[in-house]
Structure 1
């Protein structure tokens, strides 16, 4: 595994992320019973990982990163930082608190004490992921070179999302002078083009299924771990191998424009599409058909829903069969105008994901 920094890259401050600290003797055991990933992987420190909190019906409540702080409190108990969409932090705190009971843990919001960064090497091919001890040590060595001890290799899209780094508020990262400070827009463009859902605009609390939102592809679910809240449906879906919908990148364009052949962000074009807007298929023999509305006598059934978006690109949950067949959709923007929608399969998806598009069976 090569983790050395490339000669150039970028770093992006993420003030949109919130942090909840959980510490105490039972912290690891407590979280193990609530999340989709396997706490023993990080209970002895090292880099963090992606995970999700589910409800008892197996729906995602919150997508999170869990970072060991790699320090112990005065009693020697483990301490973790749970990173999530800052807008959802109060509700996540309440959700976790429901399960505390007699567990010896303490929780406190610490968003004001830390800064979260995304660091991307210009040559991401030098980054690979793995669980071996020497790989984890290499990640920690790379974090140390950035003046950080908390973070992880962000392998949600294999080697396309760089590093997640958490440092005390105001502490600068140590990076080569050639690394430029990027913008939040650049961060969202990167994750959307790579089909990476994140936060409450993509994961609608209590409705999103983990595998439909690619948590399996993004290394956020451990299918070998023991019981946790929401496990039954997740495991059953995985073993049945039937996943008919997945969230993926889409590009928005006007009805009179040509269908895009490859997804491409255009900062000069913006379509404001509210999250959870419904997608309606365009009939092949009626390419000018407008999106269905509540006033239609026989409304067409929606075939998907939008997630987060920036400019002319976004994420949407769609039927894999429709995406594989090149189906075009209509959606209403915030002004009520009809906008076309074209889906794209992320290049980093495993082969089984591409095959799902041809057949619902894994």
Structure 2
């Protein structure tokens, strides 16, 4: 007896892959015999063990532990490539030059573009070290962009991930922007500039503020707009899109009715920050 053929199950849903050129980012190459040791003593991330082709996320801080530059670190056979905010590249090169002293390193601009792909890291891209859901990054023309950077920023905001170059400033600590949860600080690597303050905040639980995603109705408030808890200042908005933004918020003032520009605000704790 022949049994009727059953319909094949539908293929699993595959989200569309997108690629964008990140014009807001630029590249600096640090090479020479002392390149890794030089950067290892400066940055929040372990550079000496960075393998060629590997990608890590870190920062260069002030001696007081405040943010100067967020950086993606690409390992190369003869050096390290730094992916930094484009409008801060010259300042980064100048700062590294001040620290160079007698180290045998060369610091030079690199004209390769920075690409992002999401929601996964396809061939030619390296997984974003902050969060797998962000997708991947690449240097050079390894793929043809099919969308713009604004679409990538919308994807980032949907995951509640701050962009330190946009959301933090020189008054901010890296932990404010979640670098401790986004693999941006190696607390076991030894000394780096600003380590004492950063380690103390983490060790003693002195974390009073966090960058958190907020939702609301309508267009995003102007950056710097206060978030209020009743009449008390609970924080301020940084960057956003219609209906959502990143805000720097006081953790002791999240309970209650929050507003911005008179509109109700809801705080969302992203999964990567829970626990």
Give TM class, smaller chain: 0.7 to 0.9
The answer as to 2:114 corresponding to 1:116 is: yes
Do the aligned residues in 1 keep the contact of 2:25 with 2:85 (CA within 8 Å)?
yes
Structure 2: runs of 5 or more not aligned: 1-13
> d(CA) in 2 for partners of 1:45 and 1:52?
19
SS in 2 for 1:307: strand
> d(CA) in 1 for partners of 2:234 and 2:221?
20
Within 5 Å, give how 1:160-171 maps onto structure 2. Answer: 160-167=133-140, 171=141
**Deviations 1:181-204 (Å, cap 9, x if unpaired)?**
233222111111212122432120
Within 5 Å, give how 1:1-362 maps onto structure 2. Answer: 8-42=16-50, 44-68=51-75, 70-71=76-77, 78-110=78-110, 113-121=111-119, 145-146=123-124, 152-157=126-131, 159-167=132-140, 171-173=141-143, 181-205=146-170, 207-253=171-217, 269-274=218-223, 276-281=224-229, 283=230, 300-323=231-254, 325=255, 327-331=257-261, 338-351=262-275
**Deviations 1:283-306 (Å, cap 9, x if unpaired)?**
2xxxxxxxxxxxxxxxx5522122
* Shift, 1:348, TM fit: 2.8
Note the aligned Cα RMSD (angstroms): 2.2
Tell me: CA distance 1:307–1:56, structure 2 relative to 1, closer, same or farther (3 Å).
same
Runs of 4+ that moved beyond 4 A: none
SS in 2 for 1:21: strand
Do the aligned residues in 2 keep the contact of 1:188 with 1:310 (CA within 8 Å)?
no
Figure out how many residues of one structure are paired with residues of the other and give that number: 262
* Shift, 1:330, TM fit: 2.3
Taking structure 2 as the reference length, the TM-score comes to 0.87
Do the aligned residues in 2 keep the contact of 1:66 with 1:82 (CA within 8 Å)?
yes
Taking structure 1 as the reference length, the TM-score comes to 0.67
SS in 1 for 2:203: helix
**Deviations 1:224-260 (Å, cap 9, x if unpaired)?**
111111000111111112312110111233xxxxxxx
SS in 2 for 1:211: helix
